[in-house]
Amino acid sequence: MVDERIVLAHGGGGALTRELVEGIIVPTLGGVPEALPDAAPIPGADELAFTTDSFVVKPLFFRGGDIGSLSVHGTVNDLAVSGAEPLALSMSLILEEGLDIALLRRVLESAAEAAQAAGVRIITGDTKVVAHGEADQLFITTAGVGRRRIQISPRGLREGDRVLINGPIADHGIAVMSERQGIQFETQVRSDSASVWPFVRALIDGGIEIHGMRDPTRGGLAACCAELANDSGVTIQLEESALPIRPEVRGACEMLGLDPLNVANEGKVVAFVPASHAAKALDILKAIAGGERAAIIGRVTARRSVAACLKTRFGGERVVEMPYGEDLPRIC
Amino acid sequence: MRNLDPEPLIERVNRAARDIGRHVRIMEVCGTHTHAIGRGGLRAIMPPNVELVSGPGCPVCVTSQCDVERMLLLAKQPGLVTCTFGDMIRVPGVTSNLERERSEGADVRIVYSPIDALELAKRETDREVVFLAVGFETTSPGVASVVLQAHQQGMDNFSLYVSHKLVLPAMEAVLSGGSRIDAFLTPGHVSVIIGAEAYDPLALKYSVPCVVTGFEPSDVLEGIAMALEYLDEGEIGSFVQYTRAIKPGGNRCAWDTLMRAFDVADGEWRGLGVIPGSALALKPAFSKFDSIERYHLPEVEAVELPGCRCGEVLKGLLHPPECPLFGNRCTPRTPIGPCMVSSEGSCAARYKYG
Amino acid sequence: MCLAVPAQIIEISGSRARVSLAGNVREADLSLLEQATVGDWVLVHAGFALEKLSPEDAEETLNLMMQLQGDGGEEP
């Protein structure tokens, strides 16, 4: 069955997204579809990093965040994990006719607050309105500029590197899914939407050698590891017993039949550092507010037949696959 | 509380495997067991003489071609809301699937429960709502309850596409098909409904121990250990590992509810053909909730899938790599038969784990 | 077809109940049970309670489920 139409999974951050981006979008726009970074150096001014992002999350407001704060955090994080200090954002709005202006104001206030807390300014933007039914309430597109602090190769992972994360996984995806029609449930789980720059800056300032970094958003930790491992030609081996997951999140995943590795995060950074730096890097992460549950969750090995795998608590191993792109509740 | 720590259980499995010595084939008939085995990475730690075989345990994947095509016809009906479990969304029809139909404008909604579909129909009274009812005996009593509730509430904009299947006839088909299976891990939650005793006749007829097993990887390890021990001692019958949830006789109330709404009927299983008495059909009293009647859905001829050997794989007669389509025309991204459709079916699992 | 989790009944209204698993609360239908009371643990599948569980049995399942928790990093 050949894909002739866009399906929802194309936006899921998994295998289908990758195929669309590398197979059609990047080559058609004249780029090289390999090892695509989250933020790119600007030609002729490569001390600056540039990124762009769009936000279509529904519902607009969820526990722990909203589309406004999310749009700031997501953009800032793309810059941060590329080793760049976020400086400024643009924010473009596509508004559906009939949108409540009070709601728009709430979104913008949240974005402003998030920008201030993240130490960035929103310096330019655009506003468009489309007819009722042509956009689902509100979409936000951003672009971000940062000043490169360190150089990170998109193919920088090395055998022996340790994998670190700054906190528990799958909070954001569960928080948002809990409000989804047909699936909704009450929960205390809050999105982890936040800037990861404090963590990245602390690692850089602490002299940690960073071979790779990414924020595991859509597609979760699984997509992040599968992609990075493929880009660097290595294998990433995660330790199941080391993965930090809140019990409420584990419970929600079990209830719906979701794999926490495939669920989105919006305040997490995964960093790959040499073994000799790992202990110090972990201490640095733990000392940052919100990093109390930072952990070393795996290591990089020479390339095997799979890009990423998980050592289970039973001493077995399973493949960590690039998710298809749409994680759905199952009965089976 | 029982000790379900991994290390002692692994040691127990190894010890039992050593004691029995010979090569042993243990089949599970529940997609959730296949998933648990994959999730726990258990295949890699099995002793060399213990072979884990996946049977026809995924009710979604064995949905017949005719059923899938009719579900797609429903989805295409303008104005109709098609509610489905997430599992169904990528099951392949001949040229399409529900995901593709949704991308082309069909109103397909993922739900967690048949109750969600019923509530949707109550809310959107100007729309017609159909629920794709798939699943084994774990799921069908809930669907039966929904039918009874819809009937009692006089609903006229709600119907089901019934594609429920029963586990025992499938196990019988496997055993009578000539496959050598030494023991079964039987589905823990199906057994909550039907009771462990339900497997006694089959166990005695074919001299196989059947162990009702839970779904955490530790449960599966204990179930395997028990199966090996019973085999070594020559014990035949239906036994329970999953004592946490199984009551004697199963859940009578749930079974009675099921039988108030459904009759047992012959069922067509993708890859296996028709298995007598293996499916459910709405009782005539509830035919107004049958979408086949309501929307006059035609019979759809099954399309030949040349080369597809799923039937043999599902019965444990063929290993996935022995199928000519495996890994080339049939992959998890482009699945042909149920063994690859299920993310943890025999072929999909082999493809992923090697 | 066997994905079911233990949850505790925190409120009953007719044949429906609110059930909680590790703080996640959802509605479940109790029609398949003879009888149930607030505080009971039940096994929930696709929005239906399939069976009652003793608190000890529910706890055992929850412990196994949470066994897959990360409680610390591996040794660097």
Domain ranges within chain A, ordered by starting residue = 35-148, 162-319
pLDDT one digit per residue (tens) for chain B, 354 residues? 466 788 899 999 999 999 999 999 999 998 889 888 888 888 889 999 999 998 888 888 889 999 999 999 999 999 999 999 988 888 888 889 999 999 999 999 999 999 999 999 999 999 999 999 999 999 999 999 999 999 999 999 999 999 999 999 999 999 998 889 999 999 999 999 999 999 999 999 999 999 999 999 899 999 999 999 999 999 999 999 999 999 999 999 999 999 999 999 999 998 888 999 999 999 999 999 999 999 999 999 888 778 889 888 888 888 888 999 998 999 988 888 888 877 767 888 788 766
Q: Within 10 A of B203 (CB to CB), how many other CB atoms are there?
A: 22
Chain C residues closer than 8 Å to B112 by CB: 26, 46-47
Number of domains observed in the structure of chain C: 1
Region of poorest pLDDT, from A286-300, B35-49, B121-135, C22-36: B35-49
User: Predicted confidence band at A35 (pLDDT cuts at 50, 70, 90)?
Assistant: confident
**Partner-chain contact B86 A7, CB within 8 Å:** no
β-strand pairing of A138-148 with A45-55 = antiparallel
Q: Which of C21, C26, C73 has its CB closest to that of A297? A: C73
The answer to whether B210 touches B186, Cβ cutoff 8 Å, is yes
> Burial of B218 by CB count in 10 Å (0-12 exposed, 13-18 middle, 19+ buried)?
buried
**Confidence (pLDDT) at B130:** 98
DSSP readout, C1-57? ----EEEEEEEEETTEEEEEETTEEEEEE-TTSS---TT-EEEEETTEEEEEE-HHH
What is the distance in angstroms between the Cα of A90 and the nearest Cα belonging to chain B? 31
Q: Which chains touch B (3 or more CB pairs under 8 A)?
A: A, C
What is the distance in angstroms between the Cα of A2 and the nearest Cα belonging to chain B? 9
**Confidence (pLDDT) at B245:** 96
Comparing CA positions, the residue from C14, C19, C6, C7 lying closest to residue C31 is C14
Task: Find the helix or strand (DSSP H, E) in which A227 lies.
Answer: helix A220-232
Chain B residues closer than 8 Å to A330 by CB: 85-87
The tokens describing B350, both together, are 């082999």
The three-point CA angle C60-C62-C64 to 5° equals: 70
**Partner-chain contact C45 B60, CB within 8 Å:** no
Task: Please report, for the domain that includes residue C49, its CATH number.
Answer: 2.30.30.140
**Partner-chain contact C65 B216, CB within 8 Å:** yes
**Partner-chain contact C1 B188, CB within 8 Å:** no
Q: Which residues contact B93 (CB under 8 A, 6 or more apart)?
A: B65, B68, B69, B71, B72
Closest chain A residue to B219, measured at CA: A314
3-state SS, chain B, equals CCCCCHHHHHHHHHHHHHHHCCCEEEEECCHHHHHHHHHHCCHHHCCCCEEEEECCCCCCCCECHHHHHHHHHHHHCCCEEEEECHHHCCCCCCCCCHHHHHHCCCEEEECCCHHHHHHHHHHCCCCEEEEEEEECCCCHHHHHHHHHHHHHCCCCCEEEEEEEECHHHHHHHHHHCCCCCCEEEEEHHHHHHHCHHHHHHHHHHHCCEEEEECCCHHHHHHHHHHHHHHHHHCCCEEEECCCCCCCCCCCHHHHHHHHHHEEEEEEEECCCEEEEEEEEEECHHHHHHEHHHHCCCCCCCCCCCCCCCHHHHHCCCCCHHHCCCECCCECCCCCCCHHHHCCCCHHHHHHHHC
Range of the domain at C53: 5-57
Q: Calculate the alpha carbon distances from A323 to A144, B88, B339 in Å.
A: 27, 17, 19
Half-sphere exposure of B333 (CA within 13 A, CB side): 14
* Distance, CA of A149 to CA of B158 (rounded, Å): 60
Chain B residues closer than 8 Å to A238 by CB: none
**Confidence (pLDDT) at B3:** 67
β-strand pairing of B128-135 with B80-84 = parallel
DSSP lists the bridge partners of residue B51 as: B25
Is it the case that residue A125 has pLDDT exceeding 90?
yes
- CATH class held by domain A162-319: alpha beta
- Chain A, window 119-178: residues with a beta carbon less than 8 angstroms from a chain C beta carbon: 162, 164, 168, 178
Percent of chain C beyond pLDDT 70? 87
β-strand pairing of B128-135 with A308-311 = unpaired
Is it the case that residue A182 has pLDDT exceeding 80?
no
* Distance, CA of B236 to CA of B205 (rounded, Å): 10
Kindly state whether A209 is in contact with chain C, defined as any CB-CB distance less than 8 angstroms.
no
**Partner-chain contact A183 B103, CB within 8 Å:** no
Chain A residues closer than 8 Å to B139 by CB: 331
Q: Which of C32, C47, C65 has its CB closest to that of B253? A: C32
> Which of the two residues, A56 and B1, has the higher pLDDT score?
A56
User: Predicted confidence band at A1 (pLDDT cuts at 50, 70, 90)?
Assistant: very low
Task: Find the helix or strand (DSSP H, E) in which A145 lies.
Answer: strand A138-148
Is it the case that residue C76 has pLDDT exceeding 70?
no
**Confidence (pLDDT) at A310:** 94
Q: Which of C3, C23, C76 has its CB closest to that of A162? A: C76
Is it the case that residue C71 has pLDDT exceeding 80?
no
Q: Which of A248, A255, A313 has its CB closest to that of C67? A: A313
- What number is the average pLDDT over the span A83-102? 97
**Partner-chain contact A239 C21, CB within 8 Å:** no
What is the distance in angstroms between the Cα of B21 and the nearest Cα belonging to chain C? 30
Q: Which residues contact B213 (CB under 8 A, 6 or more apart)?
A: B28, B33, B185, B186, B187, B188, B219, B220, B222, B223, B241, B242
Query: Between A and C, how many CB-CB pairs are < 8 A?
Result: 91
**Partner-chain contact A317 B44, CB within 8 Å:** yes
Q: Which of C22, C24, C76 has its CB closest to that of A275? A: C76
**Confidence (pLDDT) at B193:** 98
Which CATH architecture is the domain A35-148 placed in?
2-Layer Sandwich (3.30)
- A197-209: pLDDT as tens digits: 999 999 999 999 9
Which CATH architecture is the domain B1-307 placed in?
3-Layer(aba) Sandwich (3.40)
Percent of chain A beyond pLDDT 90? 78
Residue B203's Cα: distance from chain center in Å? 20
**Partner-chain contact A295 C70, CB within 8 Å:** yes
The answer to whether B55 touches B175, Cβ cutoff 8 Å, is no
- Chain B, window 188-217: residues with a beta carbon less than 8 angstroms from a chain A beta carbon: 217
**Confidence (pLDDT) at C28:** 97
Kindly state whether C64 is in contact with chain A, defined as any CB-CB distance less than 8 angstroms.
no
- What number is the average pLDDT over the span A243-255? 93
Mean pLDDT over all residues of chain C? 89
**C68 domain-assigned:** no
Chain C residues closer than 8 Å to A188 by CB: 23
> Which of the two residues, B310 and C47, has the higher pLDDT score?
C47
Kindly state whether C23 is in contact with chain B, defined as any CB-CB distance less than 8 angstroms.
no
Q: Which of C4, C27, C56 has its CB closest to that of B1? A: C56
Kindly state whether C12 is in contact with chain B, defined as any CB-CB distance less than 8 angstroms.
no
* Distance, CA of B223 to CA of B240 (rounded, Å): 8
Hey, where are the domains in chain B? Answer: 1-307, 310-353
Q: Within 10 A of A67 (CB to CB), how many other CB atoms are there?
A: 22
Task: Indicate the residue type of C16.
Answer: R
**Confidence (pLDDT) at B58:** 85
